[in-house]
Amino acid sequence: MADSKAADKIIHEILPVGLLQCNCSVVGDPHTREAIVIDPGDEVDRILEVVTRHNLKVRAILSTHAHIDHVGGLRKMKEATGAPVLMHPEDLELYKRLDRQASWLGMRVPAMVEVDESLREGDAVRWGRYLARVMHTPGHTRGSVCLYMPPDLAAEQAAQPGKLFAGDTLFAGSIGRTDLWGGSFDLIMRSLQTKLLALPDDTLVYPGHGPVTSIGEERETNPFLTVG
Ligand SMILES: [Zn+2]
Ligand SMILES: [Zn+2]
C-alpha cells in the first residue's frame, strides 16, 4: 500500500520569488488535483510550471497582505488560471498604492487586478478535500491574514500537524516590521499572542520569507514572543 500512501500525500511546493524572495506556496489535493496559490509575488512562470507539473487546477489565489513582494504576480496568475483573487478588505487601500510601493523599492509597477473576494476572520477557503481558516492578524499591515490548515480535516492528514501560512506576521526568530504604512506594533503583538500562539505547538509555520518553523519553536525561542 506504499504507493497509495504516497498518492495521498498533500502536494505543497514553496517557491521563493522575486527580489525580496517572497515564499509563494502551491498547495494541492493529489486526488482532485485542485490547488490554491498563496502570495504569487513574482516569477509567475515558475509558479505555473509547478502547477502544470503536478497537473493542478488552481481554485483560488490568496494574498496574505498587499505588499508588493506578495501581490506583484496576482494579475498574471489570475489571467493564466482564471482563479479568483482573495484578499482582506482592509488591505485594498494598500494594494491601490502599488505604484508608491514600487517607487520605494525602485521596481517597475506590476499590473493590478480586480480583487474578486474578501478574506475575513473565520472564513473557510475550501479546495479538494482541504480547508484553510482565515485568521485576521493585523499589525504588519491592517489587512494581514494568516491561513491555517487544521490537522484533522482529511483522514490522511490526521497524522500530519496543521499548517500555518503566516505571511509577514511571524518569521523564524522574528516578526513582521510594523514601521510601514498601516503597521502597528501593538496590533501585531496582540495578533501573535491571541491568535497564533493559541495554535498547537506542532503547527508548521510557513512564513512569507525565510525558513519553515513551528509554533512551539517560536513560542520557546522567538525573542518577541518569549518576553514576559
Ligand atoms: Zn509585507
Ligand atoms: Zn514580504
Q: CA-CA distance, 54 to 57, in Å (whole number)?
A: 9
CA of 6 to the centre of ligand 2 (A): 33
pLDDT tens, position by position, 135-171: 999 999 999 999 999 985 555 545 689 999 999 999 9
SS3 130: strand
CA of 158 to the centre of ligand 1 (A): 32
> Which residues sit with Cβ closer than 5 angstroms to ligand 1, an ion?
67, 168
Residue 93 lies in a domain: yes
CA of 145 to the centre of ligand 1 (A): 11
pLDDT tens, position by position, 104-143: 989 899 999 999 999 999 999 999 999 999 999 999 999 9
Domain count, the chain: 1
DSSP β-bridge partners for residue 148:
133, 164
CATH number (domain holding residue 43): 3.60.15.10
Residue 227 lies in a domain: no
CA of 139 to the centre of ligand 2 (A): 13
Residue 228 lies in a domain: no
CA of 91 to the centre of ligand 2 (A): 14
pLDDT tens across the length of the chain (228 residues): 445 555 678 999 999 999 999 999 999 999 999 999 999 999 999 999 999 999 999 999 999 999 999 999 999 999 999 999 999 999 999 999 999 999 998 989 999 999 999 999 999 999 999 999 999 999 999 999 999 999 855 555 456 899 999 999 999 999 999 999 999 999 999 999 999 999 999 999 999 999 999 999 999 999 999 865
* pLDDT at residue 40, as a whole number: 98
CA dihedral sign of residues 203, 143, 71, 127: positive
Residue 33 lies in a domain: yes
* pLDDT at residue 143, as a whole number: 98
Q: Do residues 74 and 175 touch, judged by C-beta distance below 8 A? A: no
Q: CA-CA distance, 49 to 152, in Å (whole number)?
A: 30
Residue 1 lies in a domain: no
What is the distance, to the nearest Å, from the Cα of residue 169 to the centroid of all Cα atoms in its chain?
10
The ligand minimizing its distance to the Cα of 65 is 1
Name the residue with cell 509547478: 50
Q: Which residues of 35-65 are buried (b: 16+ CB within 10 A; e: fewer)?
A: bbbbbbbbbbeebbebbeeeebbbbbbbbbb
Q: Do residues 190 and 197 touch, judged by C-beta distance below 8 A? A: no
CA of 168 to the centre of ligand 2 (A): 5
The ligand minimizing its distance to the Cα of 18 is 2
CA of 68 to the centre of ligand 1 (A): 8
Residue 2 lies in a domain: no
The ligand minimizing its distance to the Cα of 23 is 2
Q: CA-CA distance, 16 to 50, in Å (whole number)?
A: 13
Full domain range(s) for residue 85: 8-221
